[in-house]
Amino acid sequence: MRYIRMAIEKESPEQLGYDRIKNNLTESSVRDRSLKDLGVVLDDLLLPYPDHRGDRRLRDAIAEMSRLEGDDILVTAGASAALFIIATALLERGDHLVVARPNYATNIETPRAIGASISFLDLTFEEGFRLDMGRLARLIGPETKYVSLTAPHNPTGVTFTEGELKELIALVESRGSLLLLDETYREMAFGRPLPVAASLSDRVVSVSSLSKTYGIPGIRTGWIACRNRELMERFLCGKEQIGICGSVLDETVAFHALAQRRTWLPENDGRIARAFDRVRTWMEGEGHFEWVRPAGGCVCFPRIRPDLPVDIDAFYRILNEKYGTYVGPGHWFEMDRRHMRIGYGWPLEEELEDGLASLSKAVREAMRD
């Protein structure tokens, strides 16, 4: 495999240095939580090798909210490790898959590193970043190993209906392929969340984590959900060869966090709703930007209007260096840099307010004469 360093990681705030950022609008999660916030005490925790599939209590808790069984869950070191395990377990050089674009970079770069053949289902602003089922059907061939999508979509926050999900699964099943659905933002849907796709078919592999909705990316806990036991055994083989098992510390914290979800997820929802309303109000009054309004998650993907004579490099330079405000530029997602991902769930209220004001000022100052 030929690894390259992904821009979204190389240019991430943790690599740049949080102390250099005044208004951090790059994050794609809610605000980070501490062990104290979770009320977790670990003084007497033993540190043996744990169950290779993951802490049984944690797997059962994930399964309970997913309408699955504990053995349908494989705990991984975040959703990124889950995606890596799936790609390396299912793909070899030359194998074909279909991937939606824009997308979280790992969904694209790991198959590339393997040498797989990728057909891109390009989602466009003009089409509302909506899934075109007919175009997808034309991309799936008899050799297609799997179709890789996200819902709600990262970075746009667009999602599909339960009916569209079932139509999608039926399409993939009819072609003898698999569906990989990254559901990291599923619990952040603005309406009723979609069912966990893996609960609807044994031809579906679902991936999620505690990093985004739960605000604990530092414990590196995600999971693969799938009813196909043969596939799950292959994924377990991959996990064991990469790192044998997970971290007892991480999985214990994860279990306690998940056990409290009914208490503090409503708090998260309220905070996200307030932040979203602020972004929506800003967008409605900001003539230099346009967006496809998200239906879930805590990110959006607006763009500087294409008809405006803006020096894009100058815009980011002014935004970063003069105003200390950072967003996720379009090239993180293989898109034009007029696009940008704005995370509104992580910043404090005053940081979001100042960050949005900085975007307005930077785009005006970067206008060409």
Looking at the chain, the number of H-run helices and the number of E-run strands are 13, 14
Which pLDDT value is given to residue 317?
A: 97
Domain parsing of the chain, residue ranges: 7-28+264-365, 47-259
Same fold, 7-28+264-365 and 47-259: no
The pTM is what?
Answer: 0.93
Which pLDDT value is given to residue 34?
A: 87
CA distance 62 to 77: 15
Q: Which residue has the tokens 């003539």?
A: 287
Burial track 229-256 (b if 16+ CB lie within 10 A, e otherwise): eebbebbbebbeeeeebbbbebbbbbbb
CATH 3.40.640.10 corresponds to the domain 47-259: yes
How large is the average pLDDT for residues 152-181? 95
CA distance 113 to 88: 10
pLDDT digits (tens, 9 = 90+) for 221-245: 999 999 999 999 999 999 999 999 9
Please, what is the average pLDDT of the chain? 94
Q: Which residue has the tokens 């405006």?
A: 308
CATH 3.90.1150.10 corresponds to the domain 7-28+264-365: yes
Q: Say what angle helices 78-90 and 106-114 make with each other, to 10 degrees.
A: 30
Which pLDDT value is given to residue 40?
A: 87
